Amino acid sequence: MTKNIVVLGSLNADNIMKMPRMPLVGETMALTDVTTAPGGKGANQAVAAARQGANVSFIGAVGNDSNGQFMRATLLTNGVNVDAVTTNGDVPTGSAYIMLQESGANTILIHGGANQALTIADIDESVIANADTLIAQFEVPLDVIIAAFKIAKANHVQTILNPAPAVYQLTSELMQVTDIILPNETEAQLLSGITVKNDEAVLNRVSNAILSKGVSRCIITLGAAGSFVADGDKRWWAKPNKVKALDTTGAGDTFIGTLARVIESDFSNLDEAVKQASIASAIAVTRAGAIPSIPTYDEVATF
Ligand code: RIB
């Protein structure tokens, strides 16, 4: 059965600056390339779920500008319903400035714009109530995320939280309405207060610290090291698919959108969902950009 997924989140025009390495403070450095691509964690996750075959609707906002038109068109081209995307004429569409190093590693600066101007009044309750799964990230205001997750839980809709960037606390109010939380290693460190290392004992402690905030499932994505899953008392380290990374931008988002598409409502196939998500993100890092790099269902199935 086709899964109905709603993504509440950000829409950004990504300005990608390719550089040999991160510049030092005070240094002037020549970029090797500059490109623009559609992105934003919300948009990336929505497109990832759609390319895996889900029915996806988006709740978010753009400015009344060319980037807003670009982001709307990108969602529509990928089959994502934009009826609940509002246009806010007072602020620009969100944007990101991605410092992409030769190694494929990235550092991202964002300007929230319309994403940060989203309000609870912009939530279309019926869109959430009719979904199977709701996904959100931390690039829109926290009160909007909490309100949306409460609507979801009141309607037995599964909730997936990507606490990225890790700018808000994991309050018990939010954790009570969250089914799965998916931080990357940097976010897990900031949220748990424990230095994350690729070591089972450490990852156990970090997971325990996050679960102690009131959520039952945590998946820490570890880039080239795979992901560490905590599901109640069960723990396992999902090993990575070895690929040569060209650009890691959007790989975590691809993982989340794919996981949301595959996961059952009772979480019984979490292991399988993580495996599919790992394949999708492994494919994504071999290609440039966020949305342009996201694989289709067939590409994941034949990997
Ligand atoms: O996760 C990658 C995304 O983070 C980029 O597309 C950028 O827009 C920021 O939201």
Q: Whose CA is nearest to atom 10 of ligand 1?
A: 40
Distance CA 242, CA 230 (A): 23
Question: Which amino acids bring their CB within 6 angstroms of ligand 1?
Answer: 10, 12, 14, 39-41, 44, 96, 108, 110, 139, 249-250, 252-253, 290
222 labelled ligand-binding: yes
List the CATH code of the domain at 4-301: 3.40.1190.20
32 labelled ligand-binding: no
Domain map of the chain by residue range? 4-301
132 labelled ligand-binding: no
pLDDT for the residue 103: 87
Structure tokens, 116:
């940060």
pLDDT for the residue 99: 96
pLDDT for the residue 230: 98
Farthest CA pair distance, the chain: 56
pLDDT for the residue 76: 98
Ligand 1 atom closest to Cα of residue 96: 8
List the strands of the sheet with 33-39, edge to edge.
33-39, 12-19, 94-101, 106-111
> 185-192 vs 200-211: helix axis angle to the nearest 10?
60
pLDDT for the residue 280: 98
221 labelled ligand-binding: yes
Q: Which of 83, 231, 253, 266 is catalytic?
A: 253
Are residues 103 and 246 in contact, defined by beta-carbon separation less than 8 angstroms? no
Q: Whose CA is nearest to atom 5 of ligand 1?
A: 40
Give pLDDT < 50 ranges for the chain. none
pLDDT for the residue 105: 87
Structure tokens, 215:
């959520």
Residue 237 neighbours by CB under 8 Å, 6+ apart:
200, 203, 226, 227, 228, 229
Q: Which among 7, 8, 10 is the best mutation to test ligand 1's pocket, defined by most ligand atoms within 8 Å of the CB?
A: 10
